[in-house]
Amino acid sequence: MKSTRSSIVIVSLLTFLLGFAAHDVVGARTDSRPNIIVIMSDDHAYQAVSAYGHDLNQTPNIDRLANEGALFTRASVTNSICAPSRAVMLTGKHSFRNGKVDNIQAFDWEQENFAKLLQGAGYNTALIGKIHLNGDPKGFDYSNVLPGQGHYYNPDFIENGVLKQFPGYVTTLTTDFALDWLREGRDQEKPFLLLYHQKAPHRAWMPEKKYFDLYADRSFAMPENFFDDYEGRPAAANHEMGVWRDLDLVYDLKMRDPAGEFQTKYRQLWESHYGRMDPAQMAAWDAHYLPIIADYKKNPPQGRDLAQWKFDRYMRDYLRCIQSVDDGVGEVLDYLDESGLTENTIVVYTSDQGFYLGEHGWFDKRFMYEESFRTPLLVRYPKEVPAGQRSEALVQNLDLANTFLDYAGVEAPDDLQGETFRAVLNGSDADFRDFAYYTYYEYPAEHSVMRHYGVRTDRYKLIHFYPNPDYWELYDLEVDPTEMNNVYKDPAYAQIQAQLHQKLEDVRAHYGDSDELNQEHLDRYMKFRESPR
């Protein structure tokens, strides 16, 4: 009897231990559908991902996704501004269909999104970091999000509806929260979806202490069109996003002099950011920036030297912020390796749009020109995606929802407007949509970028700016990749112009866009701006 009881105890113990071990082993999970991690930064220019070959900085962890998966060289967004871009990514619908056409009007969380669909199909879902969409996130078992734009230092987060402030640096905190959920918060019997979204490198580019000295002695080469005169492009000439003209000396360039001599447009806004730091953080910040301020006061640059000084100040802090983002990507990829999840996890790195790093003399985004229209997109899925591939497919953020649903075996609703690019990733079908469509609505507003829409094909781009002035631009991207020469009225392009006009009409009809819809959005936007809030 004693021997039998001992055997039962041993068998029971082994069964328990085996069951416990299997809990964290991917192969033991009965649901073999892939996990999905979507890493999205804010305003991360593709030029500032070293895998794209522009030699501005080094992003070794993000580059791993290119080396071990796919890099898209012509991925783009449908609306180059923060909140609308994120709404398109979630819903798989253009701005004029999901209703989020600008940064200030409300987003309707009651509408369908791909996270809801995956959640309903058995995925464990989480949203962590910046989403910039008002209201309580829908479709997520767990959420811990920044209110609005969020802050770099000691930020607030809304965790499952409860507002809390956390000490530390926002990029590190966002990564820590994501790793906490991956390690302990998720249901390990289910496949998971994690939207891991960083605030950085959004304006006002506040780096963390460990990177204060990165690029301190480097002067950056200005793009060839930094001193663009915008000839033949009146919308571009109307901008308020010039590095040399519109960057705020205090808010953007960190020249907060204690004496208060620099009373700039956004100094008070900067004080609200600076004031969030604790004494130790302030001391470290001032130790780095006060000598720069003193040197500027002692030897203020002039003319083109001032333009170069401003460009260097901008680029240094912008790229420093990206370095912390790259660190976080490395930590998440290391976790996947250590936990045996790498093979069956789709990891996407992207940004909510591109950004100008001095091209046309600019910072910011919004225009349909390449630097803000395009966005970094890197995808790794070892189980299916061959390593080291580069694709020129005209994929857009519109297509992410359809692609994730495809991998998860969930049927996409008929009203989604994107297309899955799974066949592009696995090499079974090189053909994809032969155009990308773009809309932008937020005008009049900060940066003064006019409303416009347009279509890009393999070689050409046609853009319509409206309502006043109402005019067109046409670019041959093969001979003019920096979009300096508007050939819309060039007789040599008359046939191309006609073809593109027809293409644009067909695309707008395909998606259900129209001048009437544009007018509705304009009327609603102006009414919203004029109403007391």
Q: Mind listing the pLDDT tens digit for each residue in 30-79?
A: 789 999 999 999 999 999 999 999 999 999 999 999 999 999 999 999 99
Res 14: pLDDT: 37
Closest CA to 198 of 38, 378, 325: 325
DSSP symbols for 200-245: TT-TT----GGGTTTTTT--PPPPTTTT---TT-HHHHT-S-BTTT
- What is the value of pTM for the model shown? 0.94
Res 505: pLDDT: 98
List, in order, residues 6 or more apart from 273 with CB less than 8 Å away. Answer: 151, 152, 153, 204, 206
What's the distance, CA 44 to chain centroid? 6
Letter for the amino acid at 193?
Answer: L
Spatial separation of the C-alpha atoms in residues 382 and 327, rounded to whole Å: 21
SS3 157: strand
Res 457: pLDDT: 98
CB burial of residue 3 (10 Å; 0-12, 13-18, 19+): exposed
- Label the pairing between strands 70-72 and 377-380: antiparallel
Mean pLDDT of the chain: 94
SS3 417: coil
CA angle at residue 502 from 499 to 503, to 5 degrees?
85
H/E stretch holding 162 = strand 162-165
Spatial separation of the C-alpha atoms in residues 251 and 273, rounded to whole Å: 9
Does the bond joining 87 to the residue before it have cis omega, within 30 degrees of 0? no
User: Which residues on adjacent β-strands are paired with residue 124?
Assistant: 192
- Reading the block at residue 8, the tokens are 């039962």
Closest CA to 26 of 338, 350, 485, 303: 338
SS3 524: helix
Residues of the chain with pLDDT under 70: 1-28, 532-533
Give me the sign of the Cα torsion angle 499, 501, 502, 506.
positive
- Residue pointed to by tokens 């007789």: 491
Res 533: pLDDT: 58
- Residue pointed to by tokens 């707008």: 508
